[in-house]
Amino acid sequence: MKTNHQDFINGARDSLPILLGVVPFALICSVAAISVGLNPFEAVGMSFIVFAGASQLAVLQLIGEGAVWVVMLITAWVINLRFIMYSASLAPYLQDEPAKRTIPFVYILSDQAFGVSMSKFANKMPDNPAWYYYGSALAIWITWIISAIFGALLGNLVPESWGLAFAFPLSFMALMFASIKDRPTLIAALVGGITAIATKGLPYNLGLIISAFLGILAGVFAEKGGKK
Amino acid sequence: MNGFPLWILFIALAIGNFALRYSFIYLFGKVDVPDWLRDALKFVPASVLAALVFPALVYTEGVINISFENIHLLAGMGGALVAWRTKNVMWTIVVGMVLFWILQTL
C-alpha cells in the first residue's frame, strides 16, 4: 500500500508544471460561459460535470449562436473522440484495479493527465502505474475546478462591450495549431476549415459536423497517398 | 437556447464523455481499436478546430468578407501567428484580443 501512495503523490507532483496550462484554460471556459449568458453557478457546473474544455467552448459558441442541442451533442462528441485513444492506451495499466476506483478516475481523464502518465510510463515505469495516473488526474481535476470557480467570479466583471466572443475562435486557433503536426493533419485542417466556410449557411450548424468529417477523410486519404 | 434545459445538456455531454473515456478500458482484452478508427482519430482535432475557426474569421454579419474592413480576420491573422509560434491558448487570446480592440478604435 505504501508504494501506491508514493506513486499517487509522484503522479500529482509531476503534474505541477502542466497546471500552468490548466489554470488559464479553466478560467477561459468559465468566462466564455458567462459571456453567452450562463450564470456563475451554471458555468462552474458545466466545468464540473462535463470536464472537457475544448468541447465546452464549442458547445458554448453554439449556445451563443442558438444552435439546436443535437448539433451541440454531436459536435462535442466528435471533438472528444480522442478520448477513445487515451482509453485504449491506459487500459492495460488499469486492468487489475477495481471498478470503484477506475470509474471515478476515468471520469476525470484529461489530455494533461494522459500526457503526464504516458510520458512517465515510457521513461520509467512506476511500481503501480494506475496510482500514478490517479494522482495526476486528481491534481489536474482539482486545479480545473478551483480555476473554473475563479473564472466564473471574474466573468461577471467583464462587460459585453469588450467583444469577448472573439476569444472563442482565438482559443480554438491555438489548439488547432498545436494539433497540426505534419502534412496530412495540415490538409485535414484546411479541408475542414474551408468546407466550414462553404457550408456555414446550412441549417442547425450542420455544416460544422459535415466539415469535420470531410476534414478527417481528407487527412486519412492524404496519409494513405503519402505512403505510396 | 430553444427551451432545452441546460443541466440536461451538461449531463448528456458528460455521459458521452464518460462512454468515450471508459470505452476501451471496459473493452480491454475483448476488442482492439480497429486500424481504420485509429487512423481517422488522428485527424479529429485539426479538422474540427479548423471548422470552428475559419468561418468565425471570414464571416461578418452572415456574409463572407475577405477585406481589410474585416477586423476579426485581421486580428485573427495576428492571433494565428502567435498560435503557430507558441501553441499557447492564453497568449493567442491576449494578442488577438488586443489587436481586435486596437483595430476597433481605428
A10 domain residue, yes or no: yes
For B86-98, write each residue's pLDDT tens digit: 988 889 989 999 9
What is the reported pLDDT for B30?
Answer: 85
From chain B, the residues in CB contact with A54 under 8 A are 45, 49
Secondary structure of residue B31 in the 3-state scheme: coil
CB within 8 Å: B2 and A189: no
Amino acid at A125: M
> Residue range A8-35: average pLDDT?
90
Note whether A32 and A73 are same-domain residues: yes
> Residue range A81-109: average pLDDT?
92
**Residue A42 pLDDT level (bands cut at 50, 70, 90):** very high
For A107-134, write each residue's pLDDT tens digit: 999 988 998 898 899 889 999 999 999 9
- DSSP letter at B71? H
Higher pLDDT residue, A85 or A52? A52
**Residue B4 pLDDT level (bands cut at 50, 70, 90):** low
CB within 8 Å: B25 and A91: yes
Q: Is the pLDDT of residue A50 over 60?
A: yes
What is the reported pLDDT for B33?
Answer: 81
For A179-211, write each residue's pLDDT tens digit: 899 999 999 999 999 999 999 988 777 888 899
Q: Which of B16, B43, B59 is nearest residue A215 as measured by Cβ atoms?
A: B43
Q: For chain B, what are the domain ranges? A: 1-31, 33-105
Output the average pLDDT for chain A: 91
Note whether A64 and A158 are same-domain residues: yes
Note whether A45 and A78 are same-domain residues: yes
Note whether A125 and A156 are same-domain residues: yes
Using CA atoms, how far apart are residues A222 and A214, in angstroms rounded to an integer? 12
CB within 8 Å: B80 and A177: yes
Q: Is the pLDDT of residue B2 over 50?
A: no
**What's the complex ipTM?**
0.87
CB within 8 Å: B13 and A55: yes
| A83–chain B Cβ distance below 8 A for any pair | yes
Which pTM does this prediction carry?
A: 0.82
Note whether A115 and A226 are same-domain residues: no
Q: Which of A109, A176, A202, A211 best tests the B interface by mutation, with the highest count of B CBs <10 A?
A: A176
Range of A79's domain? 2-162
What is the reported pLDDT for A1?
Answer: 58
Q: Is the pLDDT of residue A9 over 70?
A: yes
Contacts for A42 with CB less than 8 Å, ≥ 6 apart: A33, B6, B7
Note whether A120 and A212 are same-domain residues: no
Name residues 128-147 of chain A within 8 A of B (Cβ): none
Q: Which of B11, B24, B52 is nearest residue A172 as measured by Cβ atoms?
A: B52
What is the reported pLDDT for A141?
Answer: 97
Q: Which of B10, B30, B38, B44 best tests the A interface by mutation, with the highest count of A CBs <10 A?
A: B44
Note whether A157 and A214 are same-domain residues: no
Q: Which of A68, A78, A178 is nearest residue B2 as measured by Cβ atoms?
A: A68
A200 domain residue, yes or no: yes
Contact A212, B48 (CB under 8 A): yes
What is the reported pLDDT for A18?
Answer: 82
**Residue A2 pLDDT level (bands cut at 50, 70, 90):** low
What is the reported pLDDT for B89?
Answer: 81
Note whether A193 and A86 are same-domain residues: no
Output the average pLDDT for chain B: 90
Q: How far is A143 from chain B (nearest CA, A)?
A: 17
| A211–chain B Cβ distance below 8 A for any pair | yes
What is the reported pLDDT for A66?
Answer: 86
Lowest mean pLDDT among A148-152, B4-8, B29-33: B29-33
Phi (first) and psi of residue A212, to 5 degrees: -60, -45
- What is the number of structural domains in chain A? 2
Note whether A226 and A148 are same-domain residues: no
Q: Is the pLDDT of residue A164 over 80?
A: no
Q: Which of B51, B87, B93 is nearest residue A193 as measured by Cβ atoms?
A: B51
Note whether A113 and A200 are same-domain residues: no
A150 domain residue, yes or no: yes
H helical segments located in chain A: 2-14, 16-35, 40-49, 53-65, 69-79, 82-94, 99-107, 111-123, 129-155, 167-179, 183-198, 206-227
Calculate the CA dihedral of residues A221, A225, A227, A228 and round it to 10 degrees.
Answer: 140
Task: Give the three cell numbers for residue A2.
Answer: 505504501
Note whether A130 and A193 are same-domain residues: no
CB within 8 Å: B46 and A54: no
**Residues paired with B59 in a beta bridge:** B64
Query: E strand or H helix at A81, and its extent?
Result: none
**Residue B1 pLDDT level (bands cut at 50, 70, 90):** very low
A171 domain residue, yes or no: no
| A219–chain B Cβ distance below 8 A for any pair | yes
What is the reported pLDDT for A227?
Answer: 67
